[in-house]
């Protein structure tokens, strides 16, 4: 079931929309402000976020900014009465996927949600990847599991590990990685990539058969001993 995080401080609207979404088969978690929603987001890792802009404690813009700064690519739709062009532009610059102006028709919102979910969901074969004998990567929730222990990865860490694993025994060029995951970040450097690789190595440290090799001046290659594949 698709899990929706719905952030809205207007209780009457929240009740109506949440009930309607649940009638259409969505699982809905409702929060009344951005701070509460941030805690819920980190705990549940929803498939899509619906968020108002004007809220107490932490507004929708700040919430989405924090989520994107942590590297999460979960689809976001703003639902708001702030209809000025500068507000819409600000919303998209923060990382929103869509911006729906109040009042809106619920049927139209659901169509927009379904379109986003269809475009962002990965093929089933990529949802859970077994890496060696001990690790499983959930590439939707961005959780790396080793036995009964879980490590929550950032969106970019999860995607980078997936890319290295799916290209195992092949060198993935540094430029290709940076272009794929950091092309919009003017402050990201090759040294920053080395830091990300070091983190991933630490996540995989319990399996000595898995290695991420630095091919100097070219890129990185993930290898797994043959008996561990």
- What is the reported pLDDT for 123? 43
pLDDT at 116: 85
At 94 the pLDDT is 83
pLDDT score for 127 = 63
Local mean pLDDT, 10-residue blocks, the chain (229 residues): 91 93 93 92 87 90 87 86 83 86 90 84 58 86 89 85 90 85 60 88 94 92 72
Can you read off the two tokens belonging to residue 206? 């319990």
CA distances from 141 to 128, 186, 190, 216 (A): 10, 27, 27, 32
Residues whose CB is less than 8 angstroms from the CB of residue 115 and which lie 6 or more positions away in sequence, other chains included: none
In order, the DSSP letters of 40-92 are HHHHH--SEEEE-SS-SSS-HHHHHHHHHHTT----EEEEES---HHHHHHHH
pLDDT at 195: 87
Classify residue 158 by burial, with Cβ atoms within 10 Å: 0-12, 13-18, 19+: buried
Instruction: Give burial (CB, 10 Å; 0-12/13-18/19+) of 36.
Output: middle
Q: Which domains does the chain possess?
A: 3-120 (3.40.50.2300), 127-228 (1.10.10.10)
62 Cα distance to chain centroid? 17
Cα–Cα separations (whole angstroms), residue 182 to 29, 77, 82, 133, 220: 31, 22, 30, 30, 16
| 121 contact partners, CB below 8 Å, separation of at least 6 | 47, 140
Number of Cβ within a 10 Å radius of residue 97: 20
- Cα–Cα distances (Å) from 133 to 65, 201, 228, in that order, read 37, 16, 6
CA dist list (Å): 125 to 43, 55, 172: 25, 39, 21
């Amino acid at each position: 079931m698709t899990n929706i995080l719905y952030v809205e401080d207007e209780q009457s609207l929240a009740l109506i929309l949440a009930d309607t979404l649940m009638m259409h088969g969505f699982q809905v978690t409702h929060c009344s402000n951005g701070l509460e929603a941030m805690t819920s987001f980190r705990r549940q890792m929803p498939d899509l976020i619906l968020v108002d802009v004007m809220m107490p404690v932490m507004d929708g813009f700040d919430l989405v900014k924090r989520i994107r700064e942590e590297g999460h690519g979960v689809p976001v739709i703003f639902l708001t009465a702030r209809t000025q062009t500068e507000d819409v532009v600000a919303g998209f610059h923060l990382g929103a996927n869509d911006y729906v102006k109040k009042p809106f028709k619920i049927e139209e919102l659901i169509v927009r949600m379904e379109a986003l979910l269809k475009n962002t969901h990965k093929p089933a074969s990529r949802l859970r990847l077994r890496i060696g004998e001990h690790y499983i990567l959930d590439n939707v929730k961005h959780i790396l599991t080793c036995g009964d222990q879980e490590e929550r990865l950032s969106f970019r860490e999860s995607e980078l590990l997936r890319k290295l694993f799916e290209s195992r025994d092949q060198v993935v060029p540094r430029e290709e990685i940076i272009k794929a995951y950091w092309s919009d970040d003017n402050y990201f450097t090759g040294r920053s990539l080395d830091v990300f690789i070091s983190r991933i190595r630490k996540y995989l440290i319990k399996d000595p058969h898995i290695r991420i090799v630095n091919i100097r001046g070219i890129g990185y290659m993930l290898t797994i001993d043959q008996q561990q594949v």
